[in-house]
Amino acid sequence: MSKLVKPIEYASSQGISRQAVYAKIKKGTLDSKTVDGKMYIVVDEVEGKEEISKPKKEEPSAHLIDVKELLTSKDQTISVLKESISDLKHTNTEINTTLRGEIELLKQVFTEMRNLYVKQVDYMVIDKQKEVETQPAPLEAISLEATKEEDDCWITLDEFFERCKITKEKRKIKVVKRLRKAFMKDDERIKMEDDTIYLSCYHFYEDILNKKS
């Protein structure tokens, strides 16, 4: 047999709050009945004792199941991430090692190419110098060099006497007098510096040597 009990009385007999009673009713774990617009709790009586209807065994809510699954999935995800991080570190180490090797190889290739280029340039310069050296000098340059040599080719009186094989002092004195007179007449074969006579080595002097005094 059952009877109706007010929610506040039921809460007091069970030692819970009235809000907890309404929550159980809402969840369907507590039997209730509405009479004349008022809600009552349905309580069973057994052998003269009131037996409060036992709440139905609550099954784990879907929310709790989802949380457990999420926690399990989280642990699995963390484990996979750790393995992935370890693999990435290993892969990065291999990549860095490979890149270092390729960089060193490029450096060696660049050094060899630079050395070959420098040697090639040196060979080109040497060949150019040889080509310039083997080419005949222009006529104008030869003429200028000859002229320069002529301008620079002057001999002293002693060398002149030696060439002309004049050994006697009297003859030397006569020749010197004639050379001085020729110089005074602007003879281009003769020049004087500090009262010293110089004679051009590319001219003849028979007119002076054989001149009758």
Q: Which residue has the tokens 């080509």?
A: 131
Largest CA distance in the chain: 190
Q: Is the pTM of this model over 0.85?
A: no
Question: Per-residue confidence of the chain (213 residues) as pLDDT tens digits?
Answer: 788 999 999 999 999 998 999 999 989 898 888 888 888 999 887 543 444 545 445 555 555 656 666 777 777 788 778 887 877 877 888 788 888 888 888 888 878 887 777 777 776 777 777 776 666 555 444 444 444 444 568 999 999 999 999 999 999 999 999 999 999 999 999 999 988 999 998 888 988 888 775
- For residue 67, what are its two tokens? 């949380």
